[in-house]
């Protein structure tokens, strides 16, 4: 399973990228809004200079013609830019147009299997089911990941399942078990995935024994 980082924060991206485990980055308007000072395009360009993989940048427009204009401009920033489009009728039209132009898309805000299947049929490169936000409303977000992986496999669809709105290491493990192609993970969850008290205790014990040995 590929790991994307779900942030627009440059220092967080640099820190996690140094671990050698990052395959890409996803941003959204809320994440970009947190990074004050720099224009949207400049942030995306800077991210593209750090991580050599798909970098999702989201359109703001709600109508297909304007989404297409925005997406074309975003895709010109760097060859790795993937245009993020909301899962609406206008978003499907834009996705279909982008596919014809060879522009890769990440169709976002997917909350049902039928939505995801339609995004795939429209030509989405990735579809992003939001696991955490489904859990928040007392649904089981991970069931959507499992359903989409099964459906895309059943029909040999090229669209990749990008597990999004990840809130815990457990979500990452379950996404991998379900066969999600990608998980986009917040920085805090990367830290939680790595940390283990037995690793820390083990290092402490090894070092103490080493010191005692007098070598
Ligand atoms: C996906 O690409 C989104 O940026 C993201 O995963 C949303 O997560 P949230 O529900 O924690 O805002």
Nearest Cα to 117, choosing from 77, 151, 79? 151
Burial of 96 (0-12, 13-18, 19+ CB in 10 A): middle
Q: What is the mean pLDDT of residues 63-76?
A: 98
DSSP string, 7-60: ---HHHHHHHHTTT---EEE--HHHHHHSTTS-HHHHHHHHHHH--S-EEEE--
**Whole-number percent of the chain with pLDDT over 70:** 100
With a 6 A CB cut-off, is 163 part of the ligand 1 pocket?
Answer: no
Shortest-distance atom of ligand 1 to CA 27: 4
With a 6 A CB cut-off, is 111 part of the ligand 1 pocket?
Answer: no
Q: How confident is the model at residue 27 (pLDDT cuts 50, 70, 90)?
A: very high
Chain position carrying tokens 């147009």: 97
With a 6 A CB cut-off, is 96 part of the ligand 1 pocket?
Answer: no
Nearest Cα to 93, choosing from 55, 124, 126? 124
138, pLDDT greater than 90: yes
Mutation probe of ligand 1 site: the residue of 184, 185, 186, 187 with most atoms within 8 A of C-beta: 184
Annotation marks residue 76 as catalytic = no
Predicted ipTM of the assembly: 0.97
Where along the chain do its domains lie? 2-212
Nearest Cα to 87, choosing from 108, 111, 56, 66? 108
Q: What is the pLDDT of residues 172-190, one digit of tens each?
A: 999 999 999 999 999 999 9
CA of residue 107 to ligand 1 center, whole Å: 12
| pLDDT computed for residue 174 by the predictor | 98
Q: What is the mean pLDDT of residues 99-124?
A: 98
Q: What is the mean pLDDT of the chain?
A: 98
Q: What is the mean pLDDT of residues 83-105?
A: 98
Torsion angle of the four alpha carbons 60, 50, 127, 129, in this order, in degrees rounded to the nearest 10 = -90
28 φ/ψ sector (left φ>0, alpha ψ -120 to 50, else beta) = beta
70, pLDDT greater than 90: yes
| pLDDT computed for residue 21 by the predictor | 98
37, pLDDT greater than 90: no
36, pLDDT greater than 90: no
| pLDDT computed for residue 207 by the predictor | 98
Q: How confident is the model at residue 55 (pLDDT cuts 50, 70, 90)?
A: very high
Task: Look at domain 2-212 and name its CATH class.
Answer: alpha beta
What's the rounded Cα separation, in Å, for the pair 110 and 153?
A: 18
Q: Whose alpha carbon is nearest atom 12 of ligand 1?
A: 165
């Amino acid at each position: 399973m590929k790991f994307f980082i779900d942030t627009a924060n440059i220092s967080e991206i640099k820190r996690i990228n140094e671990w050698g485990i990052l395959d890409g980055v996803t941003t959204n308007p809320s994440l970009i809004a947190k990074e004050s000072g720099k224009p949207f395009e400049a942030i995306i360009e800077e991210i593209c200079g750090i991580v050599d993989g798909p970098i999702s940048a989201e359109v703001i427009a709600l109508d297909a013609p304007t989404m297409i204009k925005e997406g074309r401009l975003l895709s010109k920033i760097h060859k790795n830019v993937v245009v993020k489009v909301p899962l609406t009728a206008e978003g499907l039209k834009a996705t279909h147009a982008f596919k014809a132009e060879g522009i890769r898309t990440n169709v976002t805000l997917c909350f049902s299997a039928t939505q995801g299947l339609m995004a795939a049929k429209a030509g989405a490169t990735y579809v992003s089911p939001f696991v955490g936000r489904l859990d928040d409303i007392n649904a089981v977000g991970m069931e959507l990941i499992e359903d989409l992986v099964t459906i895309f496999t059943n029909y040999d669809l090229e669209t990749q399942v990008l597990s999004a709105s990840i809130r815990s290491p457990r979500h990452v493990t379950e996404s991998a078990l379900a066969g999600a192609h990608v998980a986009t993970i917040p920085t805090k969850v990367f830290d939680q995935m790595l940390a283990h008290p037995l690793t820390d205790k083990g290092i402490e014990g090894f070092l103490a024994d080493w010191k005692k040995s007098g070598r």
